[in-house]
Amino acid sequence: MAEPRAPHSGDVSWIRARLRAAPGGTLAVAALVLVTAFLAAALPRAVDGYENDALRDTLSHASLPERSVTMSLQVSRLSVPFGPEALLASDSLRKTEKEFQKLVRPPLALEQNQTVYGVSSADTDATDPGLPRIPGDAPLPPKGTLVAQPDLAANTRLVEGRLPRSGNDDRSAEAVITDRTAKAMKLRTGSAFHLQDALGSVLTVRVTGIVAPRAAGAAWWNAEPDLRKPSVVSLPNPGGAPIPYWHFTALIDEADTNVLLGLQDGARVYWHHPADIGALTAHDVPALRDRLSALTAGPAAARLQTKQRGLHVEEQGLAERLGPFADERTAAQPLILVAAVGVGTVAVVVLLMAAGLSANRRRAEFTLLRARGISMRSLTGRLLAESAVVAVPSAAAGLALALLLLPTERSGLAVWSAAAVAVLATVSLPLRAAATARRPRPGQREDIVAARPSRRRTVAELAVVVVVAGAVVALRQRGTADGGADVLTAAAPVLLAVVTALILLRLYPWPVRLLARPFARLNGAVLHLGLARAGRAPSTTALPLLAVLVALTVTSFGGAVLAGVDAGRDHAAVTAVGADARVQSFGALPQGLGTQVRKVPGVREVTGVRVEPGQHLMNSRTQFDLLVVDPDPYARLVAATGLGSSFPTGKLDSGTKEPLPAIASPALARTFGNGAGGPESVRSSVGPVMVQIVGTQDATPAAPNHEFVIVSRAALAKVAPGTKEPAHGPSTLYATGTGIDATALRAAVAKAAPQASVTLRTQQRTSYGATSPLQSGARHVYLAAVAAGAGYSVLALLLSLLHNAPQRKALLARLRTMGMTGRGRQWLAVLEMLPQVLLGALGGILVSVATVPLVRPGVDLVALAFTVRTPATDLSGAVLRTDAASLLVPATALVVLACVVLAVQAWLTGRRGEGTELRMGERS
């Protein structure tokens, strides 16, 4: 017989016939490839989308100077002896701007139409007595700044008077001011004020008009400070409080900038270049920071210096804004990478299972073709063409859908991901068929119990275990040193799932064999047949088991992340407040306030503590807080908050002799008595007292973030019996309880102690919950990935159930003819697959429990739990934590789903004719 031809255009009819033979299976494979390609392409685009939105949101909240690249040049007659006026001319400013634009390289993008440049004077005292001053012991005169920017007429609306003109007088200038400046500084058209520098040079400024901004939000009005209205600025005062003064700005003609050279500090030439927020992407942040460094202190800055000496470039906070964003992005990347690797693994397993199921269904067809003389090359080529006809268009449709629904700047990774799905879906069936048809062999049992693993399989499994063990050791030793997204950290759940699947498949036959013997002696046939059928589970159970394990691990990892974030925020909130509510004052609180607070709904107990901050030992610069407490109530507060170990109340006796026994923080205890642990004198509200450290506490509610010394209030009162109660009375009240009424608590405090502040733990916790767009985006993408992984795991479970569905239906039909009831057949169908499903659920729980401590060092939850806008002082609680719900709920749901599917299948088998099912079983 002639060998069949290799596939070419003439085989189109054969491919069409094969696709028409199983239209349902073809459509199912096409839908699976489309969804998988869509998810593969959508994940990187979704990540890019929320990261870009988060970056643009971060920069949009910054002022224009804080997101600008600013170039400046200081010009004075001293720094530029020859021709300084030429540097202030408009032509010179435009020429320098062109030289700067030549150095701007991607990824730095600037808004060309928003560039603002001009000339300004230094802040100079306005000595006129009619100008307002901030009241004080020694009020300072206001300071004024003269600014010249091009296009003054185009950006202002004249309210009264006229615009300034250029004059020939070096000691005077014309200017206009805004209406808000005129009102605050008590100036009007025709007024004059004088700017006098430290050398006594005076510049007279005449106000020729009052203007208003045409567009107050434009860059022209916001690049330089106080153009629209004056502001109050404070001068540092080392001996006391800062001294405030007014600062205002007046606008002069751009041709009159030479008058600024008459002042001591001369003029400052500036160019403000706002960043184009819409053109910046999160992926380019590292390169953008490098580019900013090159402009400010790198090769680009050196080139500018060759054009004009003294030219200085600064970004005024743009890099500082990018830094926290980069940290949060780095913290979120491991979370997304774990989800991507997990879901990708489950998707690959499902595609391989679908190909394996199709190959097993067509095994007789492949055997017949081989018996008729077709070569492996021709068979593989035909199957390759058949698969490509379905997989390639479906993957292209999924890619197009992802590109349409998720528009971002980058598409390369999405295209490659969808192409990888198309390739895998195309080659999986031909390769599986080649492995099946290369060496045809007679039918035999290939179940888990009967099959004996070969030596090659044993060696391969041992090699996998050794590799995973080495990866685990490397991950533990490296910890978080590398930071950022790490493939080893992300692959840890998959690696553990692979090893767990191998171990469980090795152990699975033993309990089945042990249970089969005693149940064989029972009268009923359901348990015996169920265990016998469970033992005949196909040896290909490894793939669905791996899919279930990885999906459950990724789901539980998400629960561990969310639990860690919630626990970190809870811990930070209780640390910041010290209890469920805190009433704090700088001095002693009224004696009856504690009783009033106890009456507030929700308050269970109130503990008073006197906090005396700012203490320090004679021979040490370490500051600490002196805490005066009642030992028993304070011990209950420590137990209720969990801040610190059990408080040793017995060590704080109320003896009347000094030194007083005290509990201190460990670091402070080591400095007492010059490090020898002896008594030291400590200042208190009743005067200096000698204190002896008798115990230490790592943390305490009244001073969670400071060093501290705790003494008994009764002991302190006995040392100074003549001191009145307020001297050592509580300055802070700590309330514990559930559902404390914040309104009633604030009302009670405001009535008795208006100067006291009230802080609630719930409100502090709520402030941490205000996540940034980066955090919320990462969470949404991860939850979507978890949902996709769960869907794939369910699909893997259903495919594993379909693998033996024909044989199961035939068996149930035979048992019906033998008189077995419908309920018995349903129980038999459930018991047949229940051990395998329980194996996957138990393995998923075990892998999840092992993954959390393994991956914990490589995942930073601090940046996910807190943001720059909501900082916290104690971050120790934000670590991965095992969450019982995320462990048990998905595993239980898979078990219930499998039982329902099997029971429904048994019920449907009973409704159909035995002859049809038996014939189907015979053909299978």
Which tens digits make up the pLDDT trace of 360-395?
777 777 777 777 777 778 878 888 888 888 889 999
Higher pLDDT, 249 or 442: 249
Cβ pair 851, 334 in contact under 8 A: no
With residues binned 3-state (H G I as helix, E B as strand, rest as coil), the percentages for the chain, rounded to 5, are 55, 15, 30
Please name every residue paired with 209 in a beta bridge, in sequence order, or none if there are none.
161, 176
- Residue 5 token pair: 């031809």
**Average pLDDT, integer, range 407-421:** 89
Distance CA 247, CA 231 (A): 6
The yes-or-no verdict on residue 19 having pLDDT over 50 is yes
Contacting residues for 813 by C-beta, under 8 A, at least 6 apart:
909, 912, 914, 917, 918, 921
Distance in angstroms (rounded) separating the CA atoms of residues 497 and 842: 12
Q: Could you count the other beta carbons within 10 Å of the beta carbon of residue 485?
A: 19
pLDDT digits (tens, 9 = 90+) for 21-77: 667 778 888 889 999 999 999 999 998 888 888 888 888 878 888 888 888 888 887
Region 468-479 average pLDDT: 69
130, with CB counted inside 10 A (0-12, 13-18, 19+), is exposed
| DSSP-derived pairing of the beta strands 202-213 and 172-178 | parallel
Which tokens hold the place of 657?
């002799």
Q: Kindly report, residue by residue over 120-147, the tens digit of the pLDDT.
A: 988 888 888 888 888 877 788 899 999 9
Q: Which of the four pLDDT bands, split at 50, 70 and 90, describes residue 287?
A: confident
Residue 396: per-residue pLDDT: 93
Token digits of residue 714: 């009764």
pLDDT for the residue numbered 540? 52
How far is residue 256 from each of residues 149, 327, 650, measured CA to CA in Å?
11, 47, 81
The SS3 of residue 691 is: strand
DSSP 896-909: HHHHHHHHHHHHHH
Stretch 311-323: mean pLDDT = 79
Q: Give the pairing of strands 581-584 and 312-314.
A: unpaired
Residue 9 is predicted with a pLDDT of: 40
Q: Where are the alpha helices (DSSP H) in 578-622?
A: 593-598
Question: For residue range 871-922, what is the model confidence (pLDDT) as tens digits?
Answer: 666 666 677 788 888 778 888 887 787 777 767 766 665 555 444 445 544 4
**Sheet strands (E) in 294-423:** 312-314
**How many Å from the N-terminal Cα to the C-terminal Cα in the chain?**
29
Residue, of 363 and 272, whose pLDDT is higher: 272
What average pLDDT does the segment 505-511 reach? 71
Query: Residue 230, SS3?
Result: coil
The confidence band for 623, taking pLDDT boundaries of 50, 70 and 90, is confident
Q: Are 913 and 596 in contact (CB under 8 A)?
A: no
Place of tokens 């349903």: 826
Interatomic CA distance for residues 187 and 206, integer angstroms: 10
Token pair 């009856």 is found at 592
Of 70-79, 158-167, 510-519, 777-786, minimum mean pLDDT range: 510-519
* Tokens 């901030």 belong to residue: 134
Strands (E), 722-875: 732-737, 757-760
Hey, what are 672's tokens?
């007492």
CA dihedral sign of residues 864, 849, 337, 550: negative
Cβ 770 vs Cβ 869: under 8 Å: yes
**Residue pair 335/859 in contact by the 8 Å Cβ criterion:** yes
> Across 167-181, 427-441, 710-724, which has the greatest mean pLDDT?
167-181
Q: Tell me, what's the pLDDT at 749?
A: 85
Place of tokens 């008073």: 608
pLDDT at residue 335 in the model: 76
| CA 465 – CA 455 distance, rounded (Å) | 15
* 821: pLDDT strictly greater than 80: no
- Residue 663 near residue 648 (C-beta atoms within 8 A): yes
Contact 784, 46 (CB under 8 A): yes
Strands (E), 14-129: 68-75, 116-121, 124-126
- pLDDT score, position 921: 43
Q: Are 337 and 861 in contact (CB under 8 A)?
A: no
How far apart (Å, rounded) are the C-alpha atoms in residues 835 and 509?
10
Single out the residue of 180, 179, 237, 172 nearest to residue 205, CA to CA: 172
Distance of CA 69 to the CA centre of its chain: 28
Q: Are 513 and 449 in contact (CB under 8 A)?
A: yes
Tokens of 344: 């990708």
Query: How many angstroms separate the CA atoms of 578 and 760, rounded?
Result: 9
Q: What confidence tens digit (pLDDT) does each residue in 556-615 have? A: 877 888 888 888 888 888 888 888 888 888 777 888 888 888 888 888 888 888 888 877
pLDDT number for residue 484: 47
Widest CA span of the chain, in angstroms? 121
Write out the two tokens for 839. Answer: 């194996």
- The dihedral region occupied by 553, where left means phi > 0, alpha psi between -120 and 50, and beta the remainder, is alpha
For residues 756 and 515, is the Cβ–Cβ distance under 8 A? Answer: no
Three-class DSSP category at 572: helix
Contact 315, 69 (CB under 8 A): yes
| Residue 915 confidence (pLDDT) | 46
What percentage of residues in the chain have a pLDDT greater than 70? 80
- Which among 883, 880, 876, 869 is positioned nearest to 774, based on CA atoms? 869
pLDDT at 629: 87
Closest CA to 366 of 451, 441, 444: 441
Q: What is the dihedral of CA 63, 66, 68, 69, to 10 degrees?
A: 170
Residue of 777, 785, 779, 626 whose CA lies nearest to 715: 626
The pLDDT of 489-509, averaged and rounded, is 77
User: What confidence tier does 233 reach under pLDDT thresholds 50, 70, 90?
Assistant: confident
Whole-angstrom distance, CA of residue 66 vs CA of residue 314:
10
Q: How far apart are CA 216 and CA 223, in angstroms?
A: 11
H runs (alpha helix) in 521-541: 526-535
Q: What is d(CA 174, CA 151) in angstroms, rounded to the nearest whole number?
A: 16
The two beta strands, 707-712 and 623-629, are parallel
Residue matched to tokens 């106080």: 226
Output the average pLDDT for the chain.
78
Minimum mean pLDDT among 94-98, 459-463, 472-476: which range?
472-476
pLDDT of residue 497: 80
DSSP letter string, 80-122: --S-HHHHHSHHHHHHHHHHHHTT--TT--B-GGG-EEEEEEP
The whole-number average pLDDT for the span 706-719 is 82
Yes or no: say if 909 and 812 are a contact pair by the CB < 8 Å rule: yes
Residue 5 in this model has a pLDDT that exceeds 50: no
CB 645 within 8 A of CB 697: yes
C-alpha dist (Å) from residue 717 to 127, 634, 657, 878 = 58, 17, 11, 41
- Cβ neighbours, 10 Å, residue 59: 20
Reported residue count of the chain is: 924
Please, are residues 758 and 581 in contact by the beta-carbon 8 Å criterion?
yes
> Among candidates 156, 130, 152, which has minimal Cα distance to 142?
130
208 has a pLDDT exceeding 90: yes
Cα–Cα nearest to 751, from 584, 600, 593: 593
8-state DSSP, 3: P
Cα 654 from Cα 344, distance rounded (Å): 66
Alpha-carbon gap, residue 628 to 794, rounded angstroms? 61
Whose tokens are 């045409």? That residue is: 214
